[in-house]
Amino acid sequence: MNHPITIDFARIAKTALMHSDSLCRRWLPHGRQEGQEWVTRNPRRTDHRPGSFKVNLSTGKWADFATGDKGGDLVALAAFLFDLSQKQAALRIAHMLGIDPYA
């Protein structure tokens, strides 16, 4: 099956944001919700206590305030967490959410 080569990153990120709570619980299961943020340990480094790694469940923005790693949406978060390119992360999220990734 031929697909256009343009991945609709904005639509994938927007759809992922509608599922931010369940995605954070799946990807970062040792965290907890505090207001509009998912607070957890950074699984990519030796991080013993939750607190410096946060994901805003309303905007998708995330950051590790101890290292300076950060991103603007859940596609970037998946890329960071699972060591993927933005394209790979977008395609995996689209598949996980059952949406067509192409514009």
Residue 87 contacts residue 7 (beta carbons within 8 Å): yes
Q: Which two tokens stand for residue 15?
A: 């759809």
- Confirm whether 6 is domain-assigned: no
- Confirm whether 55 is domain-assigned: yes
Q: Of 91, 77, 90, 86, which Cα lies nearest the Cα of 24? A: 77
- Confirm whether 77 is domain-assigned: yes
The 10s digit of each residue's pLDDT in 38-85 is 999 999 998 877 889 999 999 999 999 999 999 999 999 999 999 999
- Confirm whether 27 is domain-assigned: yes
Residue 54 contacts residue 38 (beta carbons within 8 Å): yes
Structural domain of residue 25, as residue ranges?
12-97
Q: Helices 9-18 and 20-27 sit at what angle, rounded to 10 degrees? A: 90
Domain count, the chain: 1
What is the domain-level CATH number for residue 34?
A: 3.90.580.10
- Confirm whether 5 is domain-assigned: no
- Confirm whether 42 is domain-assigned: yes
What is this structure's pTM?
Answer: 0.93
**Percent of the chain whose predicted confidence (pLDDT) is above 90:** 87
- Confirm whether 7 is domain-assigned: no
